[in-house]
Amino acid sequence: MDLSQINPVLLVASLMVAATPLLLAAIGELVVEKAGVLNLGVEGMMIVGAITGFAISVETGSPWLGFLASAIGGALLSLLFVLLTQVALANQVASGLALTLFGLGLSALLGQGYVGIKPPGMAELDIPVLSDLPVVGPILFGHDPILYLGIALTAAVWAVLKYTRVGLILRAVGENHDAAHALGYKVVRIRILAILFGGACAGLGGAYISLIRVPQWTEGMTAGVGWIALALVVFASWKPWRVLLGAYLFGGVTVVQLNLQAAGVAIPVEYLAMSPYIITILMLVILSADKSRAPASLGRIFHASH
């Protein structure tokens, strides 16, 4: 075992990369849940985003178009969730599961011709002096643009929810849909938009895995990240900045675990690979005692009789 091989600067830099898919998916789901909808289909939307993003980048040669396509792909899949839960008033838990099962199958079908291909890379940020700084450079100024988009999105979601009228309406719909309806807000329309936003974010997160983090396509490659994102929203108590913190924590666990595998620690690889999931469970246990932060209408079906 040789722990001295592990470079702390690279560790932090790769932690941020590992955290970004989680962050993107979780921040989208946060908005969805703030609107009072529980979409358990994050994993399905991520994997569909991963393959649409991958396929479009390979076909067009542009990672930017790939990311755009992944957001559209994720949103399109979430449209199915909209049809089920907002139009057909189906149970949200079951519909979310259906979305994940369907998404996993669909992505495997779409991805058949793309196994073993390398996608076009995305240039990392290169600001003359700043990116070359010793420790700060690789950590703060040496990443791909989507990573910064994730952070910017977190800030934007926080600001919109906290300071704007739109955010207030969204929260009102999530807290008490009957009251919001009585005030004349279009509950269903607002929820549909939130779900589509969540789908687009999850799609982006998926594409980040297949285009930047890994980068290649394999079936089921999201490996539960979508589910961890759902857990993240719960233990962030529906607060954007805590989602960021949680995502980096998980990125950290993943990266340290991978580094330990590479350094040849005496613990078998399989047990190290279990750790992110076990830590998710532990975090859920520690932080789920307080449920008071959950939007009050979360997961309830809204049907306006008048």
Which residues contact another protein by CB under 8 A?
40, 80, 83-84, 88-91, 93-95, 97-98, 101-106, 108-109, 112, 219, 223-224, 227-228, 230-231, 234, 268, 270-271, 273-274, 277-278, 280-281, 284-285, 288-289, 291, 303, 305
CB of 138 to another protein, least distance (A): 31
> What would the two tokens of residue 74 be?
């994720």
Residue 19, H or E segment? helix 8-34
CB of 294 to another protein, least distance (A): 10
Nearest-angstrom CA–CA distance, 202 and 196: 10
Nearer to another protein by C-beta: 109 or 156? 109
CB of 197 to another protein, least distance (A): 22
In the numeric block, the tokens 């358990």 are attached to 40
Contacts of 144 (CB under 8 A, 6+ apart): 122, 123, 124, 125, 212
Nearer to another protein by C-beta: 111 or 205? 111
Nearer to another protein by C-beta: 5 or 288? 288
> What would the two tokens of residue 25 be?
């998916």
CB of 206 to another protein, least distance (A): 17
Nearest-angstrom CA–CA distance, 21 and 147: 9
Neighbours of 211 (CB within 10 A): 27
Nearest-angstrom CA–CA distance, 298 and 32: 9
CB of 212 to another protein, least distance (A): 22
Nearer to another protein by C-beta: 5 or 91? 91
